[in-house]
Every structure is written in structure tokens, then in C-alpha cells.
Structure 1
């Protein structure tokens, strides 16, 4: 699994994944107990939440935001 960033967005690696800020949207990735989450927010509001189940337990690395 991977993620690509095209353009001049600011990419910050964190303990829980990546933070990508292109001045319009903030994209964060993290692990929950059983999968990978990708959150996209704009103007402080959650715009998208993608989830991929890994099929096995992993260590959680973030708090899930409220939708």
C-alpha cells in the first residue's frame, strides 16, 4: 500500500502516518486496531474518510475523528 503526492504540497511524516497540506485540504493517515484510515478535511470539516481492512490486528496509532 502506498500514497503519492504530486505537486508542491507540504508533506509531514508523523508517528501515525502522513499529513499532507496543500493549503486547501489536509489529508491524514493512521491505523486503527484492524485497518488503515485516510481522512481528508477542508476548512476544519471532515470531507472524506476512506478505510482499508488489513484482515489482521495492528497497533492503533491515532484517535478517530468524529464524522
Structure 2
């Protein structure tokens, strides 16, 4: 299993736009073969900070996701 945790900081005035764009990314990613988990979490203390938690079955699944 391959797990990645990414922190993304967005400009305050772009939070709503980021959420909409990343929603589409999320919907596509969770349908990929080998995807075990793809969570998008918004920091409750810093509204413009997000964490992306991705889990894939193996390196091949990660490579498919990236390309």
C-alpha cells in the first residue's frame, strides 16, 4: 500500500474555487482502480488549509493516478 498526506494552503479569496475544483479531482480519483482512499479535509482552525490523504493499492495505482 502507498499512502500520501499532502498539505495545501490556498489564498483566502480562492477557498471556494479550490473546493469546487478539488471536488471534481476527488470524484475522479476515488473511481480509479487501485484507489483505496482519497480524503479532502479542511483544517477547522485555518479555513484556507487543506489536507489530502491518498491511499493506493500499489505503485502501479499511484503511477496511473499521476498520469
Taking structure 1 as the reference length, the TM-score comes to 0.27
Higher strand share: 1
Higher relative contact order (CA 8 A, sep 6+): 2
Q: For the pair shown, which has the larger CA radius of gyration, 1 or 2?
A: 2
Higher helix share: 2
